[in-house]
Amino acid sequence: MSSTANPVRVSRSAMAAGLGRSHWSVARAWQTNVALVLIGMGLFFLTRQLISEYHQFTIGFSGVSGWSVILYLGAVFLVLTQPVNRFTFPIILVVAVACRLIALFPAPFLSSDIYRYVWDGVVQHAHVSPYRYVPGDPVLAFLRAPHQAVFDHINRRDYAHTIYPPAAQALFYLVTWISPTVTFMKTVMVLFEGVTMYGLVTLLRSVGVRREQTLLYAWCPILIWEIAGSGHLDSAAMAFITLALLARYRRQGVLTGLFLGIAILLKLYPLVLFPALYRRGDWKMPVTMAAVIAVGYAAYSSVGMLVFGFLGGYVKEEGMATGARYFLLELAQRVSGLHDLSTAAYFAFCGAVFAALMWWCWSSVCRQGDGADVSDAAFLRPAFALAAALMFLFSPHYAWYIVWLVPFFVLMPNLPILAYLTGFFYLYTTALAEPGPKMFLANEILYGLVLMAFLLQLMFDRWPLHRTLFVQPVTASETL
């Protein structure tokens, strides 16, 4: 599970240990495939159970998520440690598609954000800026009757202007031009996952890792719930982030800037990746990114400052300005002598963390532009660190905010992020997912799990005992 270990190869001497007999943990590829088929069937039926839970309590969302996490962990272990053959990747794809088809067609239940996506597209087709009016404004009353089912489910419709940036609005316009329905919007978000898979497969092959490692993305239950189930826009952002990573690996400055700029105009938070994706001397990348962002906002600038929509209101509503939502700040304030620690001090701490990470990017990655002997993939580690740091410091309350970590996890598997993704997914489907003391306890458990996973990762990196217990295959091309 080490981020530095290659899950494709192992020394033949290790496999020959024990008087020439195969190690107890070494399986044949067909056995891996059988196990994956069984696990995949389990994930498929759990996805069906998820949809059933929308209407009737049986084992609850936490029951579905808990068992999904167990099966996912088993699949991750198999694909990272056991041999595969040409049938393994099709099995991965079939299960991934089947689970998403189950969740695609039912109406979203766990989040209503997608109804705003459709509404913003409909408003634009009426030649009205989506930033100008709240959905409940009488000026837009003529749009309600034809789209009543959409309007009735919009959250914050009477007081919140749309919060989604220009590229998201352009996407909403294009999707609703074809079909102004929630199902089609969800379909497009699932199709963006195909783009993400393409980028991940290409990157894995480029760095010498077998494509089957994309199971870590394709079977991740949080993606099935939040993308296929709820249709979150983060799917499109992940697709362009992955394309930006691929372009950066190929040292294509213009494409890197283009894809990163579009990702920023979809969800804003990918901006944090800029220090890692920039190469010293590559002026084309930042210029292209800035141009894309400028053009995007200029296209909707007729509304003035309203182009930033409900962003300011959301910051206040979620307690970002006051510091009420930051787990690490609240944890520090419970330490003796730090009860009066201010939000400004926490922001200063966050700034110091990102300054250190940016310096790391500049000193170890950006010098590629000077012709230094640095791996083409060296930027991935600091990019992953920036993304993870943002999530750990921001402590989001919604599962879809963390899904963009999954593509990085595919490229660099490690225990802390596995613990964070699966722990967050499960805990936030339990009764602890309630703002206040319960959510603080959930975060205590979550961050505690991540800390333990981090210590285990350090131990495995220093003393790789797991490699003697679970021997990996000699090659990735083993046949039946």
pLDDT, tens only, 174-198: 999 999 999 999 999 999 999 999 9
Residue 478 has pLDDT above 50, yes or no: no
Task: Please state the domain count of the chain.
Answer: 1
In a domain, 56, yes or no: yes
What burial letters (b/e) apply to 324-361, b meaning 16+ CB within 10 Å? ebbbbbbeeeeeeeeeebeeeebeeebeebbeebbebb
Residue 92 near residue 35, CB atoms below 8 Å:
no
Most distant CA pair in the chain: distance in Å? Answer: 82
CA 78 to chain centre: 22
Q: What is the CA radius of gyration of the chain?
A: 23
pLDDT at 365 over 70: no
pLDDT of residue 13: 41
**DSSP string of 337-391, one letter each residue:** T-TT--HHHHHHHHHHHHHHHHHHHHHHTGGGGGT-S--TTTTHHHHHHHHHHHH
Q: Is 140 inside a domain boundary?
A: no
For range 4-26, the mean pLDDT:
46
pLDDT exceeds 50 at position 317: yes
Q: Rounded CA gap, 419 and 416, in Å?
A: 5
Q: Is residue 242 part of a domain?
A: yes
Confidence of residue 470 (pLDDT cuts 50, 70, 90): low
Q: Is the pLDDT of residue 312 over 90?
A: no
pLDDT of residue 474: 40
Band of the pLDDT at 316, cuts 50, 70, 90?
Answer: confident
Instruction: State residue 465's pLDDT score.
Output: 67
Using the 8-state DSSP alphabet, how is residue 225 labeled? I
User: Is residue 291, in this structure, part of any structural domain at all?
Assistant: yes
Domain assignment present for residue 156? The answer is no
Give the Cα separation of 334 and 279 in Å (integer): 42
- Domain assignment present for 79: yes
| Dist. CA 143–CA 367, nearest whole Å | 54
In a domain, 158, yes or no: no
Q: Tell me how far apart the alpha carbons of residues 92 and 216 are, in angstroms, rounded to a whole number.
A: 10
| Alpha carbons 424 and 399: distance in angstroms, whole number | 7
Which has the closest alpha carbon to 289: 331, 240, 334? 240
* Distance of alpha carbon 448 from alpha carbon 176, whole angstroms: 44
How far is 232 from 399, CA to CA, in rounded Å? 10
Classify residue 194 by burial, with Cβ atoms within 10 Å: 0-12, 13-18, 19+.
middle
CA–CA distances in Å: residue 391 to residues 206, 395, 402, 404: 28, 6, 7, 10
Tell me what pLDDT residue 477 has.
36
Dist CA 424 CA 406 (whole Å): 13
387 in any annotated domain: yes
Is the predicted pLDDT of residue 370 greater than 60, yes or no? Answer: no
Q: Please count the other Cβ atoms lying within 10 Å of the Cβ belonging to residue 52.
A: 14
Q: Which domain holds residue 184?
A: 12-112+180-306+324-469
Q: Which residue has the tokens 């159970």?
A: 49
Instruction: Write down the pLDDT at residue 6.
Output: 45
The percent of residues above 70 in pLDDT, for the chain, comes to: 89
Please state, in angstroms and rounded to a whole number, the distance separating the CA atoms of residues 172 and 188.
10
